[in-house]
Structure 1
């Protein structure tokens, strides 16, 4: 999961209260919002393809997923160098491809819990953003660094659990691809990325310079995309989606 690199880097670098980029959060926020809008457009495109030509969706999904993974590292590297003119189109494409890859889980959520589930997930993500933007900036160093460490360890634990789910699903899909195990992962992931939302507002100005605002925007964007995904997974699990009897 590319999102984990953001937290690991933040934990390593946020070791003191010195602000590297005091204005980086305010500069990054418009691009986080823009990325979300582009992602919604990518989701709409994916849903349209699923409805009109479902047989073409799966191969395009894998192409988009692999391309998105590669594009993440390229865009992050360019953004860290402060080369905004090159990073911005890369991040634009990254956001669109991310939306396309999310269209499958969005379609599953709609089929399982109705179109309202998307609104609930989006609203919960937005409310978390508002609260985190206020409280995250005001965290003390002791609280901020402790929460950063907890989130970092949580990311490792979540990755291990997801690997177990993938491998276990091959041998016992009824156990690992639905029911209590999926509910556990979805709930843990939701709580984890709520915490990560607060961490972002603390670590960003201590990790990125003002010229690296697009790198900061990418990290924060990933936090909220992952939060949205795990809220959807939680809603699907609570409504019995993916359960195999």
Structure 2
């Protein structure tokens, strides 16, 4: 989904003009696919590191997480300025680092009875199916419905982020989320990011022109990864509950 910093601008543009990039989604999809392949490679590398040297994994995990956060803003700004030759390798590294940071939750899924590799496959397949449906729905939304959905999803994701931060703080003090609440949070996350995928296909062609396919691919990539994470969290919570 379009990141929060330029979301309001995208909303204003969507209200005042028609499509500026009718082909930007089609142009972005191959780069989205490439980014997801690199993410899988990064996850595989992270799992290998976790299995062979857990202590080193934790050190490199935090470095990758911080580097990934910084690289996101750098790559996004470069891509939005139209410098695709520089943005593309930055986004490739970003995808690899994202995969490395995902290896933690993937390892938990692999170690959870009832989830395992089949659960990871189900989560990935569910994301793909969601995007296929979302493209059909989002591309055909009217302005009134599209803007209303976008505003609702934006507010919902902000509220979800607040809950997740609170959850992390409580865990730091040894207070862990009950299984029923974890199921609820994960379910809401799945619902919101499924909605965000629909919003992407409505907002992005009204925000980026056909040559700005890399920032569009980055936006869809973030939505896909977050949807994958919350589906996986939900499967883990359902199968790991008392």
Match of 1:157 in 2: 159
Paired position in structure 2 for 1:66 = 66
Aligned counterpart, 1:34? 34
Q: Offset of 1:7 from its aligned partner?
A: 4.6
Q: Does 1:84 align with 2:84?
A: yes
Aligned ranges 1:1-150 → 2 under 5 Å = 3-5=3-5, 7=7, 9-112=9-112, 113-150=115-152
What is the CA RMSD across the aligned residues, in angstroms? 1.9
Give me the whole-angstrom Cα distance separating, in 2, the residues matched to 1:83 and 1:182. 41
Between the aligned partners of 1:194 and 1:10, the Cα distance in structure 2 is 19
Shift of 1:180: 2.1
Deviation sequence 1:50-92 (CA, Å, 0-9, x none): 1122221000000000000000000000000011000000000
What SS class does the counterpart of residue 20 from structure 2 fall into? coil
Structure 1: unaligned runs, 5 residues or longer: none
**For 2:232, what is the secondary structure of its paired residue?**
helix
Unpaired runs of 5+ residues, structure 2, are none
Q: State how far apart, in whole Å, the 2-side matches of 1:206 and 1:136 are.
A: 12
Cα distance in structure 1, aligned partners of 2:78 and 2:52? 37
Residue of structure 2 equivalent to 1:227:
227
- The question of whether the paired residues in 2 share the 8 Å contact of 1:6 and 1:219 is answered with no
Deviations 1:96-147 (A, max 9, x none): 0000000000000111122111011011111101111222111111111111
Mapping 1:174-213, distance limit 5 Å = 174=176, 176=177, 178-213=178-213
Shift of 1:20: 1.6
CA contact (8 A) 1:4 1:155 kept: no
On the 8 A contact 1:197/1:220 being kept in 2, the answer is yes
Q: Secondary structure at the match of 2:18?
A: coil
Displacement of 1:211 in angstroms is 2.0
CA-to-partner distance for each residue in 1:156-191, whole Å, 9 max, x for gaps? 1111111221222234523x2x41221121111100
Query: How many residue pairs are counted as aligned between the two chains?
Result: 240
User: Equivalents in 2 of 1:171, 1:54: separation in Å?
Assistant: 23
What TM-score does the superposition give when structure 2 sets the normalisation length? 0.93
